[in-house]
Amino acid sequence: MTNLDGNSSPKIHVETPPVASSAPPSVNHRTSATNSGGIGGILRRFEREDLMKRGSLALRGIALLFSLISFIVMASNKHGDWRDFDKFEEYRYLLAIAILSSLYTGGQAFRQIHELSTAKQLLKPRMAAMLDFFGDQIIAYLLISSASSAIPLTNRMREGADNIFTDTSASAISMSIFAFLCLAASALISGYKLSTQPYI
């Protein structure tokens, strides 16, 4: 009996299953770490989502600031005679889009701050992700369109004379372009957020 025990126990040695031994080499790089399951991956995902949420809020906030400045600067661009912004359709277009962008980014930032502070969703997550993605895209297209329609006109005016009117227009245009850059980046983040929605 003791002989049998002594013989059989050394023979049983727990083999590491082949799955476990083949997994580690693929876990080496950071990207595939979510694969390994475990709490680390889930925590990392939560962290990343939190970072995304804050990043998207920051980008929208900056876009709101830039489009507000663009709107105010362009709306105050009246210096009498031919130097009124509303005598040129490009500037009127820029102003209209700057107002639209301010409203959109303001509304989105308000919604996000509300959700962060009360931890209550105003919209269904999937609906919100769709709205984010399409809204950001459309406003970004409109902003780049209005800025590029106003640039050649301002360029041509500045060839003739360089006065306070053309300078103010140029600054409003550049603010619109900055707002566009922020919203284009925000659209990328929204695309990622849409992709983490379970069923599309």
**Residue 141 interacts with a copy of itself (CB under 8 A): yes or no:** yes
Of 119, 147, 132, 146, residue with least CA distance to 185: 132
Closest distance of CB 180 from a copy of itself, Å: 8
Closest distance of CB 12 from a copy of itself, Å: 26
Burial class (CB in 10 A: 0-12, 13-18, 19+), 175: buried
CB atoms within 10 A of CB 52: 15
Contact with a copy of itself (CB under 8 A) among 2, 31, 117, 118: 31
Its sign, for the CA torsion 86, 90, 93, 94, is: negative
Token pair in block for residue 145: 């369109």
Closest distance of CB 199 from a copy of itself, Å: 5
**Residues 148 to 177: which contact a copy of itself by CB under 8 A?**
148-149, 151-153, 155
Closest distance of CB 138 from a copy of itself, Å: 9
String of contacts with a copy of itself for each residue 50-89, x by CB under 8 A? ---------------------------------------x
